A and B are shown apart, each in its own frame.
Chain A
Amino acid sequence: MIFLELFLQTAEKHFMVGHRVTYYVFTDRPADVPRVPLAEGRQLVVLEVRNYARWQDVSMHRMEMISNFSRQRFLREVDYLVCVDVDMKFSDHVGVEILSPLFGTLHPGFYRAAREGFTYERRPRSQAYILREEGDFYYAGGFFGGSVVEVLQLTTACHQAMVVDWANAIEAVCHDESHLNRYLLYHKPTKVLSPEYLWDERMLQRPPFLRKLRYVAVPKNHTEIRN
């Protein structure tokens, strides 16, 4: 929740400025949602959901939640859906150039790596399994989206894959991100965002080709937050 205020403030400055935006905030503590002034045509909707003991479960249940709410509401309320992590802030323009029926973002840690080095799920028992000879890019779980129809399909498929995995007592190595990568390998995105759209300044040295950092990680104490 501590990240939400900064996320919203920076989104107001940089994200889809001039367009109609609805922020859907999934939280187990609706009362704690900060009041951030929003520009004309922009609104915030709080969706109350349950919390999970493990942070991995929180992350993985995102697919389920997005898929459910897409069916119930998003299809009727918005044209495009952008699914992003909250522990981030916008630092430069993110606009309509990202819109497309289905888009993924290149994970900043793997844009140079050979596909054998991608942290795909490598155990054949998992629904997220990808062979060493396969793979286009390693997509980040923290920034994907598209038309509501496509996002619904993606999140439903990922959730179903996770349910099968849970039944087989296996959890993909990078959780929902592994399932996202499996999906985008077989349902190729119509647009791919460069690592400008998801960066972590503390963990990575900024390469010369990265002319802008648009959406960056906010420094945090992992252990503190994940418990």
Chain B
Amino acid sequence: MATLQKTGRIGPLRMSVENWLPFSYVPYYLPCPEIFNIKLQYKGEKPFQPVTWSLYPQPKLLEQGPTELLTLTPWLAPIVSEGTFDPELLQHIYQPLNLTIGVTVFAVGKYTQFIKHFLESAEQFFMQGYRVRYYVFTNDPAAVPRVPLGPGRGLSTIPIQKHSCWEEISMCRMETISQHIAKTAHREVDYLFCLNVDMVFRNPWGPETLGDLVAAIHPGYYAVPRQQFPYERRHVSTAFVADGEGDFYYGGAVFGGRVARVYEFTRGCHMAILADKANGIMAAWQEESHLNRRFLLHKPSKVLSPEYLWDDRKPQPPSLKLIRFSTLDKATGWLRS
């Protein structure tokens, strides 16, 4: 556990970030929000509820499923794709739990133009039938469009500072999310997804995505050997991943899980980003590099196939049966509608 002094102290500090990377600081004043030491009261653990009676085909041990994709990671986390689950059965299991699912999106500067499409498509496809809370972080609350939301679904606009360059915006998302969880979200939602706003839902995204800690495979690297993953390769960075390491290259545009786990995750990434900042380095893909480093050491309990994070500029391969969430084709898509 990282231990930061409550007041910025000038003087050489020995600090270890999350137990895995000890290094010493050159004197540097770091902002130390109180949240680092708060103990949060979460919405409450739900005990297992009985499944209501429903009919569905018998699962057969000896039958290989229709999916061509890997369905289980080496650490026994399910890899979710079309064909690996029965949506109706899952609905029966999850609906009675009365869950609230949170979503964070950042829409700063010109990115406010994507909110409308994001929300409209989410209203159509994201967690249908569940309570949903959208958290829209923006520097321009007036630019957040009024999108009609279904019953049990609400939106909060949270004002944030605009930064000079988009890298900065990207890097402070982890901090913002963790602070927001500590302040608000931990009381309001059970699960939290952190999504990019310049995307749309194209097909159902349901409770099959719920898990303790959830990552999504980046659409550009799912068929690529690990040596070619765009990990941060400079040793001095806290996001460094060595050549022989790596499970998947996860996309920074989608991650989530139980709100407590997302809090730990974003806090951990934020600390690592701070440490890099102190050493004057910014990871190759900013937040995404840190996210990947963290998921290597704190393995996700569930992995979403590229169905859940697709790039519309790429042709859809036959192995991916259903694209559910993908980049809005910025050149044409939003202009047309």
Contacts and interface: CB of A to CB of B under 8 A. Distances in A.
Interface of A: 97, 101-102, 106, 111-112, 114-115, 133-137, 149-150, 153, 185-188, 191, 194, 209
A153 B48 contact: yes
A133 B57 CA distance: 9
B50 A187 contact: yes
Q: Interface of chain A, helix or strand or loop or mixed?
A: loop
A188 B61 contact: no
B58 A135 contact: yes
B58 A115 contact: yes
B259 to A, nearest CB: 18
Contacts, number: 35
A209 B63 CA distance: 12
Contacts of B47: 149, 153
A188 B55 contact: no
B61 A187 contact: no
Nearest to B57: A115
Nearest to B75: A97
Contacts of B50: 186-187
A97 B58 contact: no
A112 B62 contact: yes
Interface in B23-74: 47-51, 53, 55, 58-59, 61-62
Contacts of A97: 76
A186 B61 contact: no
A194 B61 CA distance: 9
A135 B48 CA distance: 19
A93 to B, nearest CB: 15
Given A111-B61, A186-B51, A188-B93, 8 more contacts: A97-B76, A111-B62, A134-B55, A150-B48, A153-B48, A185-B51, A186-B50, A194-B61
Contacts of B55: 133-134
Q: Interface of chain B, helix or strand or loop or mixed?
A: loop
Contacts of B58: 114-115, 135-136
Nearest to B61: A111
B48 A187 contact: yes
Contact of A102 (B48, B49, B62, B93): B48
Nearest to B52: A186
A115 B61 CA distance: 12
A101 B55 CA distance: 25
Contacts of B49: 187
A130 to B, nearest CB: 10
Contact of B61 (A133, A135, A137, A185): A137
B61 to A, nearest CB: 5
Nearest to A101: B48
Contacts of B48: 101-102, 150, 153, 187
Contacts of A136: 58-59
A149 to B, nearest CB: 8
Contacts of A209: 62
Nearest to A111: B61
A62 B66 CA distance: 41
Contacts of B53: 134, 186
A31 B58 CA distance: 47
7 contacts: A112-B61, A114-B58, A115-B58, A135-B58, A136-B58, A137-B61, A187-B49
A18 to B, nearest CB: 17
A106 B58 CA distance: 14
B34 to A, nearest CB: 32
B299 to A, nearest CB: 13
A188 B47 CA distance: 12
A106 B51 contact: no
Interface string B219-230: 000000000000
Counting chain B CB atoms within 10 Å of each CB, the highest count among A97, A106, A186 belongs to A186
